Amino acid sequence: MEAKNIYRYVPSFSGAYGTGWKAMADNFLRLLLVVLVLAVIGSPMLGSHSKWEFNPGDFNCIPFDMDNFFKIGAIGVAAAFLGLIALLWLFLLTPIFRYGAKMMFVQAARQVTPDFDMLISGFRKNYLNIVLANLLLTALIGIGFVFLIVPGIIIACRLAFTPYLVMDRNLDPIRAAEESWRLTRGHGWTIFLMGLVAFFIYIAGFICFFVGVLVSAMWVKSSYATLYNSVLIEKGLWQAETVTAADPLQGDAAPDEA
């Protein structure tokens, strides 16, 4: 029987990126497909404003009459409708796929074959928790950035595990945020440094064109999932020996609370 690669679950910058690279390499095609799906899901948001952008100067040379008035009104209504659809897409649909993808990267970090069913599992369970958690994080981080940016960075780092906890531990948004704040205590600088380095990893990916961006996204997502799992092991909330379970959600994980 072929032995698996040995994963080092160390909750550190080097441990997360090192083991994250191994997890990505061991599940390359599956994780590549996940990133592609996320790109497709996010694509309807791209260019939506430019396609329906209204420039009042376009009508400066047109004599005003009721026909032009209704034409301008119709464009405005169409733009408002598309804006509403974009908001609904952004807050009610994309979080389900993004949170499911995060859980697939956690599976890879646990040396479990990522299950594509995770991508849509949020529609069958945890849908409300996922949507509310996404809204909560958006609001808290947004408010934090309004206050001189630094509080927003701190909140983003300390609540980084919230999506994983909603999917992995089936916690509601408030409990997930509170548990993320507790788990990331002492690891805030690690998360910040990982995010800072991730920026340059994405830049390097752009230099290598489309394929490089995909690999960069896979590596960064895999590394954050690895850090999350490493912190759980450090806190005694997950046993590395049980990683071979077929389903991490039904495995021998410890209870939600420490």
Residue by residue, DSSP assigns 128-163 as HHHHHHHHHHHHHHHHHHHTTSHHHHHHHHHTTTHH
Q: 50-62 pLDDT, tens per residue?
A: 444 445 444 444 4
The answer, as to whether pTM is greater than 0.85, is: no
- What is the amino acid identity at position 15? G
3-class DSSP assignment, residue 181: helix
Predicted pLDDT at 89: 81
Range of weakest confidence among 54-68, 109-123, 186-200: 54-68
pLDDT in tens, 139-171: 999 998 888 789 999 999 999 999 999 999 999
